[in-house]
């Protein structure tokens, strides 16, 4: 799987990129949604939750939606 290349300033986002990557990995590999206290925007959180609900058969479109939501909410550019 090739992930979109996003550039970001981790200090400006307060580590939210790391939280996104961790939540996405847990959803993909374990079917575990992000915790309610996870530092993600509502749309990104919902997109990752959808991946977890569809584990282990999460469609590529759901994964793309998660990256798109992150990019929209945090201004990252690919």
Give the pLDDT confidence of 1-39 residue by residue, as tens digits.
444 444 444 444 558 898 999 999 999 999 999 988 888
In the chain, where are the structural domains located?
A: 40-78
> And the tokens for 53?
């609900």
- pTM, rounded to two decimals: 0.78
pLDDT tens readout for residues 35-73: 888 889 999 999 999 999 999 999 999 999 999 999 999
Terminal Cα distance for the chain, rounded: 16
- Report the phi/psi class of residue 32: left, alpha or beta, with left for phi > 0 and alpha for psi in -120 to 50: beta
Query: Cβ contacts of residue 11 below 8 Å, gap of 6+?
Result: none
State how far the Cα of 57 lies from the Cα of 72, in Å rounded to an integer.
25
């Amino acid at each position: 799987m090739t992930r979109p290349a996003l550039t970001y300033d981790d200090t400006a986002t307060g580590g939210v990129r790391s939280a996104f990557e961790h939540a996405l990995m847990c959803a993909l590999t374990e079917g575990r949604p992000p915790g309610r206290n996870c530092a993600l925007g509502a749309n990104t959180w919902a997109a990752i939750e959808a991946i977890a609900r569809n584990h282990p058969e999460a469609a590529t479109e759901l994964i793309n939606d998660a990256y798109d939501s992150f990019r929209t909410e945090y201004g990252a550019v690919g």
